[in-house]
Amino acid sequence: MSQLRIALYQPDIPGNAGTILRLGACLGIGIDIIEPAGFVLSDANLRRAGMDYIAKAMLTRHVNHAAFEAWRATTGRRIVLASTKAALPYTDFHFRPDDVLLVGRESAGVPNDVHDGADARILIPMQSGQRSLNVAVSVAMIAGEALRQTGF
Ligand SMILES: C[S@@+](CC[C@H](N)C(=O)[O-])C[C@H]1O[C@@H](n2cnc3c(N)ncnc32)[C@H](O)[C@@H]1O
């Protein structure tokens, strides 16, 4: 099991959350959901995407960002934010095994204070003029690189 964690900031598309929960279950990565989410965990689209893997996901729910930060502060883990506004390509970032990879909500990313409060901000470079990748695709790409670097 990896120490890496993936945190979803107020996710609003249940199919993406289900896909990420499945990824976490398959790769042994814990998932944090920072609420409020735009759906309930019993949502049919979440269940369809996550299938029976959801039962095996190591999921922690935090009632809000302050509660998530309070938990995180006790662990000493870094927050590594995936952001379309970042400058540093994720492949040039040096991951630690216990980093928390934070991704933004599908509709609006993260607010400025969460963006500025992250320990690091990383980018998946895209072609000029493209807005963003799907959040679950972003998680898969960056988690793959983090696990590769940290020897999982
Ligand atoms: C659909 S995007 C959010 C789009 C939102 N309008 C914004 O500007 O952040 C959802 C999340 O996926 C991640 N993401 C998507 N594309 C990315 C990229 N090229 N580099 C880094 N993270 C990305 C970010 O965490 C983002 O907050």
pLDDT in tens, 48-69: 999 999 999 999 999 999 999 9
DSSP assignments along 50-67, one per residue: HGGGGGG--EEEESSHHH
Q: What lines the ligand 1 site, CB under 6 Å?
A: 82-84, 103-104, 106, 108-109, 123-124, 126, 132-133, 135, 138
Mean pLDDT of the region 118-147? 98
Query: Is 132 among the annotated ligand-binding positions?
Result: yes
Q: List alpha helices for 1-152, DSSP H.
A: 14-27, 44-50, 65-75, 112-117, 135-150
Q: Provide the 8-state DSSP code for 108.
A: T
Model ipTM value:
0.97
The domain of 34 spans 5-150
Measured CA to CA, the distance from residue 71 to residue 33 in angstroms comes to 12
Based on the structure, what is the number of domains in the chain? Answer: 1
CB 89 within 8 A of CB 143: no
Mean pLDDT of the chain: 96
CATH of the domain at 101: 3.40.1280.10
CA of 50 to the centre of ligand 1 (A): 21
CB 110 within 8 A of CB 83: yes
Task: Check pLDDT > 90 for residue 119.
Answer: yes
Query: Is 29 among the annotated ligand-binding positions?
Result: no
